Each structure stands twice: as C-alpha cells, then as structure tokens.
Amino acid sequence: MSRKSHPASNSHGPLPPAARIADHRARLASSGRKRVEVVVPESDVGLIRELAERLRAAPVESAAVRAAVVSALAPAVARTGRELVALLRTAPVDGAALEFDRDRSPPRASDLG
C-alpha cells in the first residue's frame, strides 16, 4: 500500500495520533464493529480474549458461541411455585428484614348494574 493511499497518512506525512485513532474507529464502525474495554480479574483475561476472538470468527462459529453465552446469561424463569420461591431466595434482597402486611380493609362496594 502506498503512502498516499494509506488513510493514516497524507501528502504532508503521517497523521497525528488523534487522527489515526479517529480513522481506526471510523473503519471499525464501517465494518459493524465496536471497541469495548472491560476490567476483569487477571485470571479471566485469556478467557475474555478467546471469547472476543471467537465472536469475531466465521458467522457459524460466532453464532454458536453467542447462543451459548446468551443462554448462560439469560435470567432464570420460574415455571412452578416451588421454582418461584427458589428464584426469589436467590434475589439480592434474600435475608433482608422485609415485612409485608396484607391490606385487611373491607372491599369497596361496586355497582355492576
């Protein structure tokens, strides 16, 4: 690639760092990609890099990885009363001193006629 055709340079020489970064981000956006920075435990760095690499891979492979991750992160769904109780017990408010009182006021009269 010649210097003139390379987007990181112009006829006056290399572009300043801010312009190179802007050019890089524009190329990412035009290809449907976005840079993401995350903070993870050091022991997970390799895992996150591998996940990102697999998500950038061929559509078939990335779709399988994406489906597995979405499935693993999907919120739990309670289908029975027992499952609902178990789900609520895992909620962040479990163990909190919450008290709920049932409204015992008499029902309101209604005219359905």
Locate the domains of the chain by residue range.
1-35, 41-91
pTM given for the model = 0.51
Residue 5 has pLDDT above 60, yes or no: no
As a whole number, the mean pLDDT across the chain is: 83
Please tell me which residue, 112 or 51, carries the higher pLDDT value.
Answer: 51
Q: What is the pLDDT of residues 45-89, one digit of tens each?
A: 999 999 999 998 888 889 999 999 988 888 778 888 888 888 777
| Cα 20 to Cα 9: distance, rounded to the nearest angstrom | 8
Alpha carbon distances (Å) from 92 to 58, 89, 96? 39, 8, 9
CA dihedral 26, 27, 28, 31 (to 10 degrees): 120
